[in-house]
Structure 1
Amino acid sequence: MSSNDIIVSLDIGTSKVRVIIGEVNNGAINIIGVGSADSEGIRKGAIVDIDQTVHSIRSAVEHAERMVDIQISDVYVGIQGNHISLQTNHGVVAVSNEDREITEEDIERVLQAAKVVALPPEREIINLVPKQFLVDGLEGISDPRGMIGVRLEVEATIVTGAKTALHNLIRCVEKAGLHISGVILMSLASGVMSLTKDEKAIGTVLVDIGAGSTTLAIFEQGGIAATSTLPIGGEYVTNDISYGLRTQTEQAEKIKLKYGCALASDAAEDLRFKVMRMGSNVEKEFSQVDLASIIEPRMQEIFYMVRQEVKRLGFGDKINGYVLTGGSVSLADTLTLAQQELESSVRIAVPDYIGVRDPAFSSGVGIIQYVSKYMAIRSSGAAKKQASRKPGAVAAPKPGMIERIKNMFSEFI
């Protein structure tokens, strides 16, 4: 990676579209710009209206551009949803050099070999994640470059998704006038930002509670082992408040953010607020205890479903902890409630960068860290700088998105 690369991440969520601009300077990442816009056209994490989604993407991009005076042309896009699935595969090649030294070309060939797998016609490879390399049977190698051998193997996790969901995502971003440098599984990106090396090794569940859905990613032995998406999230809490207090959803969301508490036992009876009742001009007063008594059961349900899903995936007794992220975990006392319901060690992951110290930005920041760590950006070749500091910069013509997705992982190592 050159000394100053710009990486732009695009996180299209149910409630917000977020654009984060990161500058990589000699390996260190600085967040230099953030843009967000209300999400329109997204339901439960899935695109249901392309035109509205395009408008939201453009608004978020313009917001970020105004902050740092950068014309954004290229982005890395996050993807998630219940259509995502994982499978393992094995690749093997003979080392091509006469001196038997393993080169970048050998690594690219073995990664391509690992991607040769039978898939249904409606599915497509999104990411390829090497778990380990083997050189002449020697296991546990993370980077075989420069080693001597005649046989190079790789054990990898293949991330696949539905073509429909992937192509709709690509279409929205390209209609917004952006070039896609790569599509990355959100759980992989969040894992880079949120989990330590030890947490990935011992068995940890990364729980991303968004507005419309909750995504689980189970990590063990250093890599992602399973992923699942539950169709429940923070907007269900908001809907409960709207129904319980008989008020508009928009006002319910504001009340949740300002006065919300996940534990009724910790709520304050003397903290009171007024709510405009639906269908009338009459305001009614409620306490934080009233609000918490609505929020707590729904949050309990979310964590109950998380725990049941972990068991269903076959990891019930293999988990040593949970890490929470996503915008909905910012609610007061969420951590305490999660510890009670999950009966395990739980912590909340927050990006450690100025301007994005909020769990809602974990995925966006994670994409930038993932790209800088695993997908080397070179000054020439298929991957270009993600943005220009000169306003009005125009992206050079690039090959088609589907072709690049098929070939992008040659730059994994």
Structure 2
Amino acid sequence: MYVGLDIGTTSIKVIVAEDVKGQLNVIGYGNVRSKGLSRGVIVDIDQVVGAMKEAIKDAEEKVDVSIDEVIVGIPANMLQIEQCRGMITLSDNNNRSREITEDDVRAVVQAAMTQSLPPERAVIDVVPDEFIIDDYSVTDPREMQGMRLEMKGVLYTGSATIIHNIRKSVEKAGVRINEIVVAPIASAQVALSEDERNFGSILIDLGSGQTTAAVIHDHKLKYTYVDQEGGNYITRDISVVLNTSPANAERLKTTYGYALASMAETEESFSVQVVGQQEPEMITEEYLAQIIEARLRQIFGKIYQALDGINALSMPGGIVLTGGGADIWGIKELAEEIFGVRVKIYRPEEMGLRTPTFTQVIGLIEYGVRQSEINHLVRSVVHNTSYRPNIKSEPVDDSNQELVHYQEEPEVDYIASPADEEFQAIDDDNLAKKGIRDWKFFKWFSELFK
């Protein structure tokens, strides 16, 4: 049994699944409103723990099992990606080679992780590219013989505070962490095809608290960009502009919202309960769409600048949108207009979970299931957890697994954008270009948050 835990800004999701002969079957889930999070980052551990316990209990009751450990995702905030390398000597005093054990693998991983990190950073994950025994590259060195063992790989580091708070919250919720996975890596496991991960694609996760763009190429996470604007910002825009409650704004967004004003009906209107007024006001679909489009243009515009700066938009896989914010009519067409590449939306296929908001939590389980035993062993060193070989429910046909042997080293060390603690008002230019009604009101609204 595998359990994925997605600690999101709006909701905390728990998915329980079984892997039977290479087929991942979701058998239950819990989904509760988040507390104690802001822009994907924990700001109140006790509140998060309470929501986490509720989600876990919900999932346990649906499948009638006890959840003891989870695979948890960590956001790409302040993520750094760099190469790492470790080497150990295997020969004895008589200069003879010997068989490589799991302890040797642990030792070479520790050697690769040993480097000077500032106190504010911590290791999230190590992904081996290759092991080298006496200058010969191998995928899994266990039970082979040699005099020297090396490991080349990719080292992911992040904010020590973010990592500590996640670990502490999960621990206080009464479960153990089996693995910690960088969120875009998990999402890419299900949202991108084998060819898209190989030839190169961009995965944009429109979360409620932030939007993350990840560049995947040669089955590796090469780059991340985090914009501290997400679906909640669209909701807030609607709430402020229409002077209605956040709950009403969210309902309007999900029920009547369009990402492109040109796709909305100019004659179709609906009532909006305005704060301080007894009678509701009538608003057109087009007007609501103009509000939504302005924010999305700002988000996509920033991402475009970041991706264009590293020439990522030339990759053949195009862009895949996912996350709760991707579930807005017309967002595919808007993204294609802004980025100038092929865009598609990924929705999970599991019954009852067919919305983009469940992509990451399903990806966490899929990623854990599809990893090779040697990768599980490496991660047990990183996360200081027990290593258990052959953990699948039943023997799995290897042909159904997507195990990757990395050959090429990353060309550049990539760094995710830092978190922005300020609410970002919509740029005036984005609004002016769309000719939004009541421009003076929008101008006043933008000035509020500068």
TM-score between both structures, scaled by the size of structure 2? 0.78
Question: Is 1:343 aligned to 2:320, yes or no?
Answer: no
Give structure 2 stretches of 5+ with no counterpart. Answer: 391-402, 404-450
Alpha carbons of structure 1 residues 309 and 297: separation in structure 2 relative to 1, 3 Å: same
2:321 corresponds to:
324
Report deviation, 1:146.
Answer: 6.2
Report deviation, 1:147.
Answer: 5.9
What CA deviation, in whole Å up to 9, does each residue of 1:42-64 have, x standing for no partner? 11111112222122112212221
Question: Is 1:365 aligned to 2:362, yes or no?
Answer: yes
- Provide the C-alpha distance between the structure 2 equivalents of 1:336 and 1:174, rounded to a whole number of angstroms: 43
Report deviation, 1:36.
Answer: 0.6
Alpha carbons of structure 1 residues 30 and 70: separation in structure 2 relative to 1, 3 Å: same
Q: For residues 398-409 of structure 1, what are the structure 2 equivalents within 5 Å?
A: 405-406=383-384
The residue type equivalent to 1:71 in the other structure is S
| Of 181, 184, 187, the match for 1:187 | 184
Q: For residues 197-212 of structure 1, what are the structure 2 equivalents within 5 Å?
A: 197-212=194-209
1:10 corresponds to:
5
What CA deviation, in whole Å up to 9, does each residue of 1:67-117 have, x standing for no partner? 222222221211114222111112234566977665545444433332222
The residue type equivalent to 1:121 in the other structure is P
| Of 64, 75, 82, the match for 1:80 | 75
1:168 corresponds to:
165
Q: Does structure 1 conserve the Cα–Cα contact (< 8 Å) formed by 2:313 and 2:341?
A: no
Alpha carbons of structure 1 residues 317 and 194: separation in structure 2 relative to 1, 3 Å: closer
Q: Does structure 1 conserve the Cα–Cα contact (< 8 Å) formed by 2:332 and 2:345?
A: yes
| Of 144, 150, 153, the match for 1:153 | 150
Q: For residues 124-163 of structure 1, what are the structure 2 equivalents within 5 Å?
A: 124-138=122-136, 141-144=138-141, 150-163=147-160
Q: Does structure 1 conserve the Cα–Cα contact (< 8 Å) formed by 2:322 and 2:347?
A: yes
- Provide the C-alpha distance between the structure 2 equivalents of 1:147 and 1:183, rounded to a whole number of angstroms: 29
Q: What SS class does the counterpart of residue 71 from structure 1 fall into?
A: coil
- Provide the C-alpha distance between the structure 1 equivalents of 2:314 and 2:265, rounded to a whole number of angstroms: 38
- Provide the C-alpha distance between the structure 1 equivalents of 2:337 and 2:145, rounded to a whole number of angstroms: 52
- Provide the C-alpha distance between the structure 2 equivalents of 1:171 and 1:103, rounded to a whole number of angstroms: 32
Q: Does structure 2 conserve the Cα–Cα contact (< 8 Å) formed by 1:217 and 1:225?
A: yes
Q: Does structure 2 conserve the Cα–Cα contact (< 8 Å) formed by 1:125 and 1:406?
A: no
1:41 corresponds to:
36
The residue type equivalent to 1:332 in the other structure is W
- Provide the C-alpha distance between the structure 1 equivalents of 2:203 and 2:253, rounded to a whole number of angstroms: 24
- Give the total of aligned pairs: 386
Question: Is 1:333 aligned to 2:311, yes or no?
Answer: no
Q: Does structure 1 conserve the Cα–Cα contact (< 8 Å) formed by 2:76 and 2:182?
A: no
What CA deviation, in whole Å up to 9, does each residue of 1:319-350 have, x standing for no partner? 33222111100111111111111111222222
- Provide the C-alpha distance between the structure 1 equivalents of 2:104 and 2:314, rounded to a whole number of angstroms: 36
Identity rate, percent: 36
The residue type equivalent to 1:115 in the other structure is M
CA RMSD of aligned residues (A): 3.0
The residue type equivalent to 1:169 in the other structure is I
| Of 112, 115, 123, the match for 1:114 | 112
- Provide the C-alpha distance between the structure 2 equivalents of 1:364 and 1:345, rounded to a whole number of angstroms: 25
TM-score between both structures, scaled by the size of structure 1? 0.85
Give structure 1 stretches of 5+ with no counterpart. Answer: 1-5, 383-401
- Rg larger for: 2
